[in-house]
Amino acid sequence: MERLLVLVRHGQSEWNLKNLFTGWKDPDLTEQGIEEAKAAGVKLKDMKLQFDMAYTSALTRAQHTLKLILGELGQEGLETVRDQALNERDYGDITGMNKDEAREKFGEEQVHIWRRSFDVPPPGGESLKMTAERVLPYYRAEILPRVMEGKRIIVAAHGNSLRSLIMELENLTPEQILKRELGTGAPVVYRLNEDGQVVSVEDLAD
């Protein structure tokens, strides 16, 4: 039985390009992001992968990325579940702020803490720990059981919602997951055993 789970961070968004804290705001992909998503689809096609079901967030950039990937795979009509449980972390009061401007306003060290600590949220927003507390119950209840049934699943989401999943899949500590960079439009391919443990992982980043 094939227990396949592929995670893909969305391609570059318009706000990524502008260096803004995006969170739950809903910009679409840039031209580069569109190309990154298509390239992700080509990589998965080259591996001869097909999927039984897809999951994505409630945000356009992740949904658009998934649509482009499925287009490359010839699976445009694939059953897809969209849920805000998979949304990016909420950056609260700093949403929409340029990261350089945030450093000027709040100080380099404070912004670094908000971005790279595990459990310190920005004002009105979510820490990575809080993001994981919303993402992981959804994964365990909705996604993992289908993988364990032998369904081949693809999840197109966001840097921090996917970090939460990777932390669980790879048994990483908070310190380790904070150092994990996820490339835009770069699929990570997991295969699981009958106990739900990862037996192989392949990062398709260039």
% of the chain at pLDDT higher than 90: 94
So what's the pLDDT on residue 60? 98
Q: Which long-range contacts (CB under 8 A, 24 or more apart) does 114-120 make?
A: 116/178, 117/178, 118/174, 118/175, 118/177, 118/178, 119/174
Complete DSSP assignment for 131-169? HHHHHHHHIIIIIHHHHHTT--EEEEE-HHHHHHHHHHH
Average pLDDT, the chain: 96
- The Cα–Cα gap between 192 and 114 comes to 33
pLDDT at 178 over 90: no
| pLDDT tens profile 30-80 | 999 999 999 999 999 999 999 999 999 999 999 999 999 999 999 999 999
pLDDT of residue 27: 97
**The predicted structure's pLDDT at residue 47:** 96
**What digits encode the pLDDT tens for the residues 146-176?**
999 999 999 999 999 999 999 999 999 999 9
Give me the catalytic one of 36, 64, 72, 88: 88
Q: pTM of the full predicted structure?
A: 0.96
Domains parsed from the chain with CATH numbers: 4-91+129-203 (3.40.50.1240)
Please determine, for residue 86, whether its predicted confidence score (pLDDT) is greater than 90: yes
Count CA atoms within 13 Å of residue 76 on its CB side.
3
Assess whether pLDDT exceeds 80 at residue 206. no
Amino acid at 156: A
10, 64, 72, 158: which one is catalytic?
10
The whole-angstrom separation of Cα 66 and Cα 29 is 12
pLDDT at 203: 94
Helix axes 99-106, 108-116, angle to 10 degrees: 120
Tens digits of residue pLDDT in 193-205: 999 999 999 999 8
Catalytic, 64? Answer no
3-state DSSP call for residue 20?
strand
24 neighbors 88 (Cβ within 8 angstroms)? yes
10 is catalytic: yes
**How far apart, in whole angstroms, are the C-alpha atoms of residue 9 and residue 201?**
16
Amino acid (one-letter) located at 132: A
d(CA 33, CA 97): 21
